[in-house]
Structure 1
Amino acid sequence: MGNADDHMNSYNLDAAASHRVAIPPPQPFIKSLKNTLKETFFPDDPLRQFKNQPPRRKLLLGLQYVFPIVQWGPQYTWQFLKADLIAGITIASLAIPQGISYAKLANLPPILGLYSSFVPPLVYAVMGSSRDLAVGTVAVGSLLTASMLGKVVNVVENPDLYLHLAFTATFFAGVFEASLGIFRLGFIVDFLSHATIVGFMGGAATVVCLQQLKGILGLKHFTHETDVISVLRSVFSQTHEWRWESAVLGCVFLFYLLISRLFSKKKPNLFWVSAMAPLTSVILGSLVVYLTHAEDHGVQVIGELKKGINPGSIMDLNFDSRYLPTAIKTGIVTGVIALAEGIAVGRSFAMFKNYHIDGNKEMIAFGMMNIAGSCTYCYLTAGPFSRSAVNFNAGCKTAVSNIVMAIAVMITLLFLTPLFHYTPLVVLSSIIVAAMLGLIDYEAAIHLWHVDKFDFVVCMSAYIGVVFANIEIGLVMAIGLSVVRVLLFVARPKTLVLGNIPDSKVYRNVDQYQNAQCVPGILILEIDAPIYFANSNYLRERISRWIDDEEDRIKSTGETELQCIILDMSAVGNIDTSGISMLEEVKKTVDRRGLKLGLANPGGEVMKKLNKSKFLETMGEEWIFLTVGEAVGACNYMLHTTNPKLDSNSDLSLKYSHNV
């Protein structure tokens, strides 16, 4: 092989000196670390707009960044106001009955649903970057609050403590959300994959619907557990308590709500029919109860709602060490779910209108509105899809629609709350069921099955965990499976055998391209991921197996014996010391077998580390190539030099002149 090395050195010096892979200039560690942290936490480079600006301009830009209303407010027009006025009134008609319903779902006084639709939307209108998000309480967050706090405090026996813990959990949810935004940790929410959210939301919606059997059947006592078995056991163990009057009323209004939604889907211009249906149901239900005295026949009603806007609750926050862990845990879990739903909804509608929302700014806005809400008798709020969809379809132009909604809710709180006295709870249950059925996205689950079976497993794991265990377990299962998948991608990267596409200089996966031909005497492997400590041992063993398999195949077919191994490093964006050790071991293994190792197209970071580790000296820079084609050409040159009897005109032989 010594003669071949001499020829190879001559070839590299004469033919490819100008085609060697360049080594990036050295970069100080501090600068490199700074760039890495910048790309991780500040990929949007929010400070670039402040460069080379006078102090007054920097102050204005700072205010616009923290309070987006300062940016778009001066350009606000009368046309925008008319559109936002219509949208705000429309979503208020949905927010009022939904707010009352979701507060009952959270085992909180119904008035909190109205309070939570007044203060938080005002805060978001000032600090939020989405034009279409409509702020309010959410069903899943309400259920989580009831489930997690209900395990520690019995709402019937100690309603004040339960209420205070709800405020405290909301406070910690806001602190957590704002902290994620301030410290630019928004990427953490990205661990909630699309499949995870589909399964979790579907499972939570199923649980919420089952929980509403209490209201529809007129039951007074019900389980605090959320799994389907406990709920059904509670329902069917009280058949003697079922109220047919309540069930009939609930089914009638549920049918009306579903029909109105179906009608609005078929005729999008009449979206307001579905949006007004919950408020219409509340009005009609109240009239039916009032005229028939149905409350005397087992139909439960809301009862008296206190007039007046939000009182203060900052003194009601409970930091007692006995309950603090529960409040913090509830706040973090509900905060993450609220962020995931709100940011996903905001980005979806922003895409339709071709504008951008800043995820970190949204987190700060969500956090501040929940902190403010916890101090003003509100519980967890976010950007629910149903309300935001109505806001979008109503033609909102800016976040002023949230201000209009808040004013409408304020008027309701000041003057109209006595009208809700006769509102039957069964109507609220029907409103919740109708809203939740839209969250069970079976079409998305079917799509996941067809596209990616593992994503489908993640989705169904989240769904089954929520429905048959509890919401926390379902969420942990889904996130755990998603993280496992990421780890599998990192720890078990793909290695592919490449072949030449006939009459071209292109090399592709032989399993994907049936016409790709393996090059005689050369094994070309593509490593499809960065090389780290987590996958270096696997890659070393996998490359050895590829070599063994190729030599066995050659022995059985009688082809040209294996001479060269080429590793295509195009997809290897980075490498650590464990990865370099792996390459050194592969080099030793290849040398022991009497083979040659070549690297094709290693990236800048890889070349820099290979150079610093002295691996390039061991490897020989003449065995580093810009492309797979050049590497194959050099190996073929060596093969023909060491074995002149090879037929240079054979179709199985690729000449250097063909590849370079």
Structure 2
Amino acid sequence: TPRHLSSDYPEIIDIFDDPDEIGMHMKKASTHSMPYEMTYEHDTLLDRPPMNQERFDHLYGHKHGEPEARRRLKKTGMRYIHPFTSCAAFKRFLVAFFPILQWLPHYSFKSNIIYDILGGITVGVMNVPQGIAYASLAGLPAVCGLYVSFLPPLVYLIFGTSRHNSISAFSVVCLMTGLAVERFTDTSNPKYNETVAFIDDPAMLPTPTEVATSLTMLVAFINLAMALLRLEFLMTYLSDQVVSAFTTAATVHVLVSQIPDALGITGMVKHDGENGYLVMNLYEIIIRIPNVNLYTCGISLFSIVFLLLGKEVVARLLARFLNFHYALPYELLLIIITTVCSYFIGFSSPPFNVKTVGSISTGLVMPTVPRFDLMPSLIGDALTITLVAYALHISLGRTFAKNHDYELDDNQELLALGFMSAVSSFFPVYPPACSLSRSVINNKIGTKTPLSNFFAAGIVLSTILFLATYLEPLPKPVLSCIVLVALYAVLLKFKDLIALWPVSKIDFSIWAVSFLATVFIDVTPGLIISMLYALFTAIAREQWPLWHLLGGVHGNLDFEEAGRYQSVSFFQEICLFRFDSPLLFMNAHRFKKCVQKALRQWEHENLILRVDKLSISMNGGPEKELEEDEIPEYTRHLVIDCSGFTFVDYMGISTLKELFLEMHNRNVLVYFAAAKAPVRDLFARSGFHEQVPKSNFYPTMRDAVAVARTRETKCAILNKKFSVDILDGLSEVTTVSM
């Protein structure tokens, strides 16, 4: 056990019985110190005596916190038990579980109903053509696009907490659904035989709708399981850069998939399911361009020009000259015009030979149970769709909630997505998701509550019951063009790269890797690669974090990074060091190297001011960095700012022990300052203090620096040379008598 300074060197303590005398001697020491030493205008650094952590805890009644694992387990258990402890608690649980019970009883018809009706009707009118178009993208009958725009919004109305998110079809989800459907139904798909190998009876081979409904139910199971286990935090691994790049890359896949229908190309050999299939499909399109259907191309050209003129030109003119800012349903107008033309001209017959939508059933269908035997083969697709749909949904929902000052419950949104997928899976649907374009329209119109979903579903229901059969002559290239134009806004996310480059090269690389992997490999592997690369960059940033030498700021009691401020100076014989990261197995060795490098750099800076710079740097050349064995013996104090240690693992603890003993052998006192309470508790449980005394921990950097400066001042006055024995004694000093 180290010897105590007060017993072996009583004359040192006796010198400083008076607080004013401490300040006087600190000032006296500062007047004789080197130019780089920090001085203070005040006599003391703190409004209380400087002390170590052990003394601080004793004086102010430190309480040991409950272990984090036990606290979380108790909180999780109470979350499921508390609702059944009383009638009032159960009522609160029901209101939280059904958010509609929170806002519907207080609904203001006078101020809200007009906006909700207008938003619902506008979105509902857009849902009809886009739902049919996206059903075609997923390789499903058109009626599936109508049902996915009818049932999910009604369920979300009951369970959802976002006022602006529009629930129906989303292009990227439809693309991924289409890839799953093709594996089960397209005999030319390379993975077809492998996928359906478990089905012995050919009569049991699934239809595209059966695959889609089974996939929807599986997505519901995953959403509900994540909500029950409170796993919404997993979405944090889908950073904004990953989501932006992935959706943009998936949009490229969608664009390529729509080109054949837009140009009337037939006889293509599809390569869906193979890695790099997008490039192969693009090659198939290029070599078949001489065989395009000119009538189909003409319809597509008219459709694209009509939509772009309406959205980009007419809408701006109406807003400028008539102050009309509402979104007109140009897609619906296009469908009406082309359907009428197709009906009277006969686009589907020679010589036109333009593909049309064909038969659409009218009226509500009876619910059927999804095929559970297909689900094991769809787990990968369902996981990918769940992650993408939830990430986009939460990203949009948080944006709207922040702009309009209301709360969005992430876990409740998982429940809402799960329930709406589960209910709708008994009908001909594909997995529903949040639509970017229609949610933006909701926001622009100013919808006030989720009640707008009711009116949107009403528009789609009227189409299912009465109008669907009139859409049978609709040309398919019109649907492809609706998809192509709708994705225009998504492609604008390429601008994110320009914004990311000057801010963060790592985030830029995440976007680029995510985009390239998704485009040139496949959608699902691209998402996996994107997440793994983003996780790798996070680990890399933890493994190679920043570290800083700190100095005192003249005129106040702060400690800042050396070189950041002109008025920051080093203390004589006191090195201040900070490591901006948790101390884990991946960076523990680097931490030790950084401390050694910091000491060398600190001593280097000291020597530059102790001797003529010309003796170190010849002819203006670079200054020589001191090697580890060149550190002078007069280095006395190393203060480690532990505020960056949010967590320390076993290897980190071992590294701190090694560092402490190594510094002790070099006549260097080590001070640990500002360590967080959970980290200190971890040290206590691990036996860390068997080798590193508690007295070496300090509640703040000011305490540690004050004690270090006091020790330096006392020994300077006594004119005694430091030795290991004296350092042993000094290491136990907890405070100064005042």
Pick one of 241, 258, 265 that aligns with 1:219. Answer: 265
Are the counterparts in 2 of residues 572 and 602 from structure 1 also a CA contact under 8 Å? yes
Secondary structure at 1:383 match in 2: strand
Structure 2 equivalent of residue 492 of structure 1:
544
Q: Which runs of 5+ in 2 are unaligned?
A: 20-47, 190-201, 612-631, 720-734
Rg larger for = 2
Name the amino acid aligned to 1:35.
R
Segment of structure 1 superposing worse, 129-138 or 73-82: 73-82
Separation (CA, whole Å) in 2 of partners of 1:484 and 1:129: 34
- Picking from 211, 223, 233, the partner of 1:165 is 211
Question: Could you tell me which of 494, 502, 526 is aligned with 2:578?
Answer: 526
Q: 1:507 corresponds to which letter in structure 2?
A: F
The residue aligned with 1:70 is 101
- The question of whether the paired residues in 1 share the 8 Å contact of 2:143 and 2:428 is answered with no
* Native 8 Å contact 1:600 1:625 kept in 2: yes
Query: Offset of 1:642 from its aligned partner?
Result: 3.1
- Amino acid across the alignment from 2:109: W
Deviates more, 1:70-79 or 1:428-437: 70-79
Paired residue secondary structure (1:599)? strand
Partner of 2:623: none
In structure 2, relative to structure 1, the CA distance for the partners of 1:303 and 1:437 (3 Å cut) is same
Partner of 1:34: 70
* One-letter amino acid of the structure 2 residue matched with residue 604 of structure 1: A
Partner of 1:325: 376
Report what 1:192 is aligned to.
238
> Could you give the per-residue CA deviations for residues 214-267 of structure 1, whole angstroms, max 9, x where no partner exists?
111012344243744123211112123201221222122212222333244684
1:141 alignment partner in structure 2: 173
Q: Check whether the contact 1:520–1:562 (CA below 8 A) recurs between aligned residues.
A: no
**Distance in structure 1 (CA, Å) of the matches to 2:698 and 2:543:** 27
Contact 1:107/1:155 (<8 A) preserved: no
Superposition deviation, residue 617 in structure 1? 5.9
* 2: CA distance, partners of 1:613 / 1:602: 15
Cα drift, residue 542 of structure 1:
2.3
Counterpart contact for 1:84–1:401, Cα < 8 Å = yes
Query: What's the RMSD between the two structures over aligned residues?
Result: 3.1
**Structure 1 position 574 matched with structure 2 position 647:** yes
Q: How much has 1:621 moved relative to structure 2?
A: 4.2
Residue number among 60, 84, 92 corresponding to 1:61 in the alignment: 92
Residues 30-75 of structure 1 show CA distances to partners (whole Å, capped at 9, x for unaligned) of xx42324578x79xx9789969x951x3333222122111222222
CA distance 1:11–1:122, change in 2 (3 Å): farther
Q: 1:360 aligns with which of 396, 399, 411?
A: 411
TM-score w.r.t. structure 1 length? Answer: 0.89
Give the structure-2-normalised TM-score: 0.80
Question: CA offsets per residue over residues 311-333 of structure 1, 9 Å max, x none?
Answer: 3231x41415xxx4331111111
Offset from partner CA, 1:450-472 (integer Å, 9 cap, x none) = 21111111111111112222111
TM-superposed CA distance for 1:486, in Å, is: 2.0
What is the CA–CA distance in structure 2 between the aligned matches of 1:160 and 1:69, rounded to whole Å? Answer: 37
1:303 paired to 2:358: yes
Q: For residues 363 and 555 of structure 1, do their structure 2 counterparts lie closer, same or farther at Cα, with a shift above 3 Å needed? A: same
Equivalent position SS for 2:645: coil
1:177 to 215, 223, 226: 223
Given residue 317 of structure 1, which amino acid in structure 2 is its aligned partner? R
How many residues end up aligned between the 2 structures?
636
The DSSP-based 3-state class of the residue aligned with 2:635 is coil
State how 1:368-383 maps to structure 2 within 5 Å: 368-383=419-434
Q: What residue ranges of structure 1 are gaps of 5+ in the alignment?
A: 647-656
The residue type equivalent to 1:462 in the other structure is S
- Alignment CA distance shift 1:352-1:472 (3 Å): same
Kindly indicate whether the alpha-carbon contact (under 8 Å) linking 2:560 and 2:568 is maintained by their aligned counterparts in 1: yes
Deviation, structure 1 residue 166: 1.7
Alpha-carbon distance between aligned partners in 1 of 2:65 and 2:107, rounded to the nearest angstrom? 48
User: In structure 1, what is the Cα distance between the partners aligned to 2:575 and 2:15?
Assistant: 21
Q: 1:442 aligns with which of 494, 505, 511?
A: 494
Matched, 1:338 2:384: no
Alpha-carbon spacing, 1:438–1:155, altered in 2? closer, same or farther (3 Å): farther
Deviations, residues 331-366 of structure 1 (Å, cap 9, x unaligned):
111111111111211221122221001110110110
Distance 1:488 1:10, change over 3 A: farther
**Is residue 637 from structure 1 mapped to residue 637 from structure 2 by the alignment?**
no
Decide whether aligned partners of structure 1 residues 148 and 340 sit closer, same or farther in structure 2, where only a CA change above 3 A counts: same
1:511 & 1:293 partners in 2: Cα distance? 77
Moved more, 534-543 or 608-617: 608-617
CA distance in 2, matches of 1:196, 1:384: 18
C-alpha separation in 2, matches of 1:201 and 1:219: 26
1:236 aligned partner: 286
CA positional deviation for 1:524 = 0.8
Partner SS, residue 313 of structure 1: coil
- Distance in 1 of aligned mates of 2:550 and 2:342: 75
Match of 2:63 in 1: 25
Distance in 2, Cα, partners of 1:13 & 1:178: 67
Tell me the amino acid that sits aligned with residue 134 of structure 1.
Answer: S
Compared CA separation, residues 555 and 351, structure 1 to 2 (3 A): closer
Q: CA deviation at 1:555?
A: 5.4
Question: What amino acid does structure 1 have at the position aligned with 2:114?
Answer: K
Aligned with 2:516 (options 464, 467, 486): 464
Q: What are the within-5 Å matches in structure 2 for residues 535-614 of structure 1?
A: 535-551=587-603, 554=606, 558=610, 561-614=634-687
Equivalent position of 1:649 in the other structure: none
Taking the aligned partners of 2:437 and 2:394, their CA distance within structure 1 comes to 14
For residues 521-554 of structure 1, give each alpha carbon's deviation from its aligned partner in whole angstroms, at most 9, with x where no partner exists.
2221112222233332321232223234444555
